[in-house]
Amino acid sequence: MRMRSWCILGLIGLLPPACVGSCVIHDNRLASDFERVEVGMRRDEVIGVLGTPREILDCKAPGPFQPWRRRDCAETYLYPTWAAPILPSMWAVWLNDRGTVIGKYRFVSW
């Protein structure tokens, strides 16, 4: 019984740092992959590099992540950090109606 208690305590002690570490690794990987996204890439190439976006927004609807002065924008792909509500940082990729990247930006609000 004592060994089981130590194992449970060990897991409880290691779980939070492991979770935070995996989230930091995810954000670092997303940041480096974001640098590989280029204007002119196709939608499927962006998903191949960054993965499925957390949210896809219509550029015609008003919102905080829409590009200014870009009438050719059709969709916004959003990739937030793991701690988006606490440390708001968001990677955005803008695509036109043909599914081609027309711009990208990292929003940081802190």
For residue 89, the Cα-to-chain-centroid distance in whole angstroms is 9
**Which amino acid is it at 37?**
V
Task: Please give the pLDDT value at position 100.
Answer: 97
Q: What is the CATH number of domain 2-108?
A: 3.30.1450.10
Q: Per the structure block, which two tokens stand in for 23?
A: 């989230």
Task: Give residue-wise pLDDT tens across range 69-99.
Answer: 788 999 999 998 876 667 778 899 999 999 9
Task: Give residue-wise pLDDT tens across range 11-65.
Answer: 677 667 766 666 667 677 888 899 999 999 999 999 999 999 999 999 888 877 8
H-assigned helices in the chain: 2-36, 43-50
Task: Please give the pLDDT value at position 38.
Answer: 95
CA 72 – CA 70 distance, rounded (Å): 5
pLDDT at 104 over 90: yes
Q: How many beta carbons lie within 10 A of that of residue 46, not counting itself? A: 24
